[in-house]
Amino acid sequence: MPLPLARQPWLAMTLLVCALACLVGMAGCQTTPPPQPQPKLSPAQVTVLKEQGFALTEQGWELGLPHKVLFGFDEDTVTSTRQCAVLDVGRALSRAGIEHVRVDGHTDDVGTDDYNQRLSFRRAVAVAKLLVEAGLTRERIEVRGLGKSRPVADNTTATGRAENRRVAIIVTVD
């Protein structure tokens, strides 16, 4: 039958020394934590986004008012005024080295789901073409048609429906 440690002080001291040696040894084996991932956008890029009217949202950096790209009822052509604005934004993003942009097309709730899905995609493609013309790489532009699934305004009023007929330009940091 083993004797308690109190009766074997040399054994208690040996165990204590071994435990301390293990702790010191383990501390020496610890690796430094991996570096934290760097933000995908530099401070200079964030400054450009803010200057162009982008605001940080849950989706990423989204182009906000008054720079929204709005469309008329059942239209998928960007007006000449908005074309100039989209080209300016695209050039600024290109110069800043912004690499990934998502273009989300939207509609109001008039019409069938299928029709609105196709119309919203055509709207997004129209804006994406302008961004490519401005210098962004097509392969780095994600184009989505979201139809009437994400209204930003009340579809029961003409003003609300007009706000929902839009394309959102979003700089993602994926």
Closest by alpha carbon to 129, among 87, 96, 91, 98? 87
160 exposed, middle or buried (CB, 10 Å; 0-12, 13-18, 19+)? middle
Structural contact between residues 151 and 164, judged by C-beta atoms closer than 8 angstroms: yes
Residue 21 and residue 101 in one domain:
no
Residue 54 is part of a domain; what is its CATH number?
A: 3.30.1330.60
Give the whole-angstrom CA distance, residue 60 versus residue 144.
Answer: 15
Residue 63 inside a domain? The answer is: yes
Residue 36 inside a domain? The answer is: no
Residue 25 and residue 75 in one domain:
no
pLDDT in tens, 64-122: 867 789 999 999 999 999 999 999 999 999 999 998 999 999 999 999 999 999 999 99
Residue 16 and residue 47 in one domain:
no
Residue 9 and residue 78 in one domain:
no
Give the whole-angstrom CA distance, residue 118 versus residue 121.
Answer: 5
Among 21-25, 34-38, 107-111, 163-167, the range scoring the smallest mean pLDDT is 34-38
Who has greater pLDDT, 14 or 152? Answer: 152
Structural contact between residues 106 and 148, judged by C-beta atoms closer than 8 angstroms: yes
pTM: 0.76
Give the whole-angstrom CA distance, residue 96 versus residue 91.
Answer: 9
Residue 49 and residue 16 in one domain:
no
Residue 145 and residue 61 in one domain:
yes
Please state the domain count of the chain. 2
- Six-digit token pair at 174? 């994926």
Residue 94 and residue 137 in one domain:
yes
Residue 19 and residue 62 in one domain:
no
Residue 37 inside a domain? The answer is: no
Residue 57 inside a domain? The answer is: yes
Give the whole-angstrom CA distance, residue 2 versus residue 17.
Answer: 21
First-to-last alpha carbon distance for the chain, in angstroms, is: 65
E strand or H helix at 12: helix 9-29
The whole domain housing 93 covers 43-171
E strand or H helix at 85: helix 80-95
Residue 88 and residue 131 in one domain:
yes
